[in-house]
């Protein structure tokens, strides 16, 4: 089971996207746990090694540099969700992005 975390300002705006991602994962029998949390929780999640992938909401992409180093230390792939995919709440494309990041990280 892979753990995917989405961080945004308060963790609320990504909740709908997480729901859509979960629906896609369930429909395709992809075993993942997906959570939306406020960015303030990101350091705790990274330090505990709980994440297999971290995605930032476009509204907090300016915080990417703040956690980039910690993610590299823990070998956790990190990226910003595509604004168009976020805006349209395209759970399938965001889930594919996360799975691709996890696979590429495993193949390093």
Structure tokens at 11: 């963790």
**d(C-alpha 34, C-alpha 22), whole Å:** 7
Among this protein's residues, is 53 annotated catalytic? no
Among the options 4, 5, 7, 8, which is catalytic? 8
- Burial of 86: CB neighbours in 10 Å, binned 0-12, 13-18, 19+: buried
Just list the catalytic residues.
Answer: 8
């Amino acid at each position: 089971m892979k753990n995917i975390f989405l961080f945004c300002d308060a963790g609320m705006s990504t909740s709908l996207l997480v729901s859509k991602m979960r629906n896609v994962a369930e429909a395709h029998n992809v075993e993942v746990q997906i959570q939306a949390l406020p960015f303030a929780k990101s350091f705790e999640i990274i330090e505990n090694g709980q994440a297999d992938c971290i995605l930032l909401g476009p509204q907090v992409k300016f915080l990417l540099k703040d956690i980039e180093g910690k993610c590299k230390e823990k070998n956790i792939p990190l990226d910003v969700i595509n604004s168009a995919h976020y805006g349209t709440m395209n759970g399938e494309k965001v889930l594919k992005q996360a799975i691709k990041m996890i696979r590429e990280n495993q193949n390093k």
